[in-house]
Amino acid sequence: MSAIDEFEEAREDLEALLIEVLGAVSGEEAMPVWDETLPPGPVVSARLAIHDEDDDSFTMVGVRTSSIVARVLASRMLLTADPGPEDLIDAMGELGNIAGGNVKSLLRHSCRLSLPTAEVTENPGPEHEFSGVTVRASLLGQVVELSVDVAEDVAGLYWPGSPAGALEIRP
Amino acid sequence: MRILVADDSRAMRMIVVRTLRQAGFTGHEIIEAENGQTALEIAAEKGVDLILSDWDMPEMTGIEFLRALRASGKRTPFCFVTSEGSEQMRELADASGALGLITKPFTADAFSETLSSVVTP
């Protein structure tokens, strides 16, 4: 079974995972959606990779939503009425981290998880060619996406632990 | 009690502190650290009574932090609060001397169940 087939087979679990994580972080009920897309405008996204050292493959996990939802999440996570750009990055990064950790537990047990990286994109262009699985949920009336894909390029991601990695110990 | 919360996300540190209170563990001094290295230094210099630590952090991971802490002779109760909760990680945490592993997203009940033996309300 290819990795993409495996992600597809886990689609319902990924949907449930996204709903649970969003509900826990926001305190709001999230609902699965299938045909809706992100609204026009700024997007806040987080991504991180899962590295399988056995075959040196990478699975990329991404979370994206509108800046409106990201602001609400940051506001609730950080208990601030007016979250700044760094707060949005921190909150979405942590949302990505929680989602990524749970995806790893679901699909890739004996692997290494990168640290999340998050960014605000003011005018997101067309999506890159994507062969993986994306599940969507509605939160506060807007879409939040969770994507899982195989990855060739993990540039820009950081890995946990000491800089040299010498002390890195993973199950 | 003096409780050290180590996580590279400020948002998550705040959520952990809030959840401690929601679990009824109030009135304790909270110290925050954004990676394992800083947390280890705080634990060595100030002394703490409980450590709640993320697993994946820059500079020094949670498991590196725990092992360095134990190697220094400190037996401070140590609980992971992390997004990964595989059985292998739980076994490694246990073998390294952790009190437990709470998986994100978590509830106040999870904090109560795991920490009630070492934290007084």
B49–A contact, CB cutoff 8 A = no
Can you give the pLDDT at residue A126?
Answer: 62
Whether B6 contacts B65, CB under 8 Å: yes
Whether B53 contacts B6, CB under 8 Å: yes
ipTM over cut 0.90: yes
> What tens digit of pLDDT does each residue of B14-50 get?
999 999 999 999 999 999 999 999 999 999 999 999 9
Residue type, A86: E
CA distance B31 to chain A (A): 17
Which residue in B89, B90, B78 sits closest to B6, CA to CA? B78
Cα B100 to Cα B118: distance, rounded to the nearest angstrom: 11
By Cβ distance, the residue of A78, A102, A115 closest to B14 is A78
Q: Is the pTM of this model over 0.90?
A: yes
3-state secondary structure of A24: helix
Q: Is B32 exposed, middle or buried (0-12, 13-18, 19+ CB in 10 A)?
A: middle
Best mutation site among B66, B104, B111 for testing chain A: the one with the most A CBs within 10 Å? B104
A96–B contact, CB cutoff 8 A = no
One-character DSSP codes across A55-116: TTEEEEEEEEEEHHHHHHHHHHHHT-SS--HHHHHHHHHHHHHHHHHHHHHHH-TTSEEPPP
By Cβ distance, the residue of B10, B59, B84 closest to A105 is B84
Cβ of B60 within 8 Å of Cβ of A162? The answer is: yes
Q: What percent of chain B has pLDDT over 90?
A: 92
Can you give the pLDDT at residue B85?
Answer: 86
Can you give the pLDDT at residue A171?
Answer: 40
| Across B44-70, average pLDDT | 96
Can you give the pLDDT at residue A129?
Answer: 67
Can you give the pLDDT at residue A53?
Answer: 83
Can you give the pLDDT at residue A154?
Answer: 87
Whether A15 contacts A61, CB under 8 Å: no
Chain A neighbors of B8, CB-CB under 8 A: 115
Cβ of A169 within 8 Å of Cβ of B56? The answer is: no
Cα B6 to Cα B4: distance, rounded to the nearest angstrom: 6
Q: In what order do the strands lie in the sheet with B100-103?
A: B29-33, B2-6, B50-53, B78-82, B100-103
Cα A94 to Cα A98: distance, rounded to the nearest angstrom: 6
Which residue in B36, B34, B4 sits closest to B17, CA to CA? B4
Can you give the pLDDT at residue A120?
Answer: 95
Quick one: DSSP state of residue A30? -
Question: What does each of the 171 residues of chain A score in pLDDT, given as a tens digit?
Answer: 788 898 999 999 999 999 999 999 999 999 999 988 898 899 999 999 999 888 889 999 999 999 999 999 999 999 999 999 999 999 999 999 999 999 998 887 778 899 999 999 987 766 666 789 999 999 999 999 999 999 888 888 999 986 644 334 344
Whether A142 contacts A55, CB under 8 Å: no
A93–B contact, CB cutoff 8 A = yes
Can you give the pLDDT at residue A162?
Answer: 62
A-B contacts at Cβ under 8 angstroms: 92
Which residues of A, range 61-90, sit inside 8 Å of B by Cβ? 74, 77-79, 87, 90
Cα A99 to Cα A14: distance, rounded to the nearest angstrom: 9
Chain A neighbors of B56, CB-CB under 8 A: 97, 101, 113, 115, 160
